[in-house]
Amino acid sequence: MPVVPCTASASRRQVLRLAAGAGFLLLAGGMLRPGPARAATFAAPPLPYAENALEPVISAKTVSFHYGKHTLGYFDNANKLVADTPLAGQPLEKVFLEAAKDPKMVGLFRNAAQAWNHVFYWSGLAAGGGAPTGKLAKAIETSFGGLEACRKALSEAAVTQFASGWAWLVADPAGKLSVVKTGNADNPRQEGLKPLWVIDVWEHAYYLDYQNRRADYVKGVLDKLVNWEFVAKNLG
């Protein structure tokens, strides 16, 4: 919760400005309470490329719906649900991690985690693909025995995730890489693992282009769209 300075020496105008900027409403008598404020709003970053940049693996139509409707929809819902909770004003990642611990906040958890997961997904894709280098290439070699084994593990996780979910490349606190899959909105950060890359295997991610052929979508993404620079940046 942001701290709003409210001293006897501050003018009413100053207090109002501070209160509004920090996401509070000033009530009669100088009481502050959380308000529907700018500071509490999660802003969806724009797509980092054109809608057709991932073709032919992912069509512009899929990207248009998946970003414009699904991703932005999760942000809208998270913004509505976080207002008037003690988590208002906190960063998105903290909000979903805290909301995950409280069964009464399951709706907020799902939408905030999905908002975060989708930004991570879009950032991890790039036309052209490429290959890991440097520290990342070495970590893949050490952890999987090579890039092909890493891709195979990601592919298996993505194809076998039952129903909606995600397949992730993650690092544990010791820096060892592995692949995990999660259902629905769940995120490896809830288990103390650091996400490095993710593929969305909810049907909305591929059904317009591939219908039930999830394996073809997964193969296309792994062969052609992995943004290895993003993965390396996340490894640190």
Q: Where on the chain is the footprint of Mn ion (CB under 5 A)?
A: 200, 202, 205
DSSP 48: S
Closest approach of Mn ion to the CB of residue 185, in Å: 10
Residue nearest to Mn ion (CB): 200
Provide, rounded to whole angstroms, the least separation between the CB of residue 73 and Mn ion.
10
H, E, C per residue of 19-33: HHHCCEEECHHHCEE
Contact yes or no for 154/220 (Cβ under 8 A): no
Least Å distance, CB 26 to Mn ion, is: 39
CB of residue 47 to Mn ion, shortest distance in Å: 13
Contact 176, 143 (CB under 8 A): yes
Question: Is the Cβ of residue 58 or residue 97 nearer to Mn ion in the bound state?
Answer: 58
Q: Which is nearer to Mn ion, 24 or 202 (CB)?
A: 202
109 vs 202, which CB is nearer to Mn ion? 202
Residue 233's identity, in one-letter code, is K
Q: Is 15 helix (H, G, I), strand (E, B) or coil?
A: helix
Given the complex with Mn ion, which of 51 and 200 has the nearer CB atom? 200
CB of 205 to Mn ion, least distance (A): 5
Number of neighbouring beta carbons within 10 Å of residue 236: 10
Contact 232, 136 (CB under 8 A): yes
Q: Which residue, 118 or 151, is less far from Mn ion as judged by CB?
A: 118
